[in-house]
Structure 1
Amino acid sequence: MTKSKTPVGCPCGGPALAACCGPFLDGAAVPPSAEQLMRSRYTAYALRNEPYLLSTWHASTRPGEQIIDPKEQLQWLGLEVKSGLRLRQRKAEVQPDEDFVEFVARCRIGGRGQRLHEISRFLREPDAAGTPRWFYVDGEFPA
């Protein structure tokens, strides 16, 4: 009798990786929303996929140095999206190509638990091929 393999959920909290963030990380699809891009970036951090992170970072704020230290003992534990709704709708100016996503990501660094609470800003612009896609720009850390 063989054991059937249960699909492992996506690090972002979604279904199996192949049905969630996997196609984005593999380049087979482009995240259609800022929230899906944020979730796929969390997954990329969890899987230590630096090329994906850099490719989804807006050119105006993209770091020029390495962002993942392979020696760092970092384990991502979970993601909670606090606001998947467009926070920008609270503002007077509506920008269809700008969006914000608030989230809390939990991790363990060197055995010690930490939380990252961020309101991330995303812009939708054409990529090098002219296809509109979302890019991470920057984030604020609420008190």
Structure 2
Amino acid sequence: PRIVEGIYGNNDKGGLGDLIQQLQPTEMNKVNISDSDMSILHQGFYQVAHGTSGLTTGRAFSNGALVSISGKTGTAESYVADGQQATNTNAVAYAPSDNPQIAVAVVFPHNTNLTNGVGPSIARDIINLYQKYHPMN
């Protein structure tokens, strides 16, 4: 697993540009989990993006995706200095669902529209861009 493979610039159209710096990954920790427990986690992440329940929170991960994406959404409530509540929305995703090669995390601080799926949409767009330049399946 890698946090970052490389740092890229952007091109004149705002897309992925040239590699600026290649990074060598360092595995810092490993979670010891059984294959059956890991399978349950994978199924849950897949259902967040592809489920048919009205409670499916991450349909934006899969709508328009170029490759199968699995993910998880969440919120974290906090309070700012003036005592007002602020909500951070979070989305984590990996792709392809059956053989993960990329993982993305998006944090949208102080989000006022909790129904817009912005985190999953951003994660999907990043994965689509990666798929375009580094085909994964």
TM-score bracket, shorter-length normalisation: 0.3 to 0.5
Alignment TM-score, normalising by the size of structure 2: 0.36
| More helix, by proportion | 2
TM-score w.r.t. length of structure 1 = 0.35
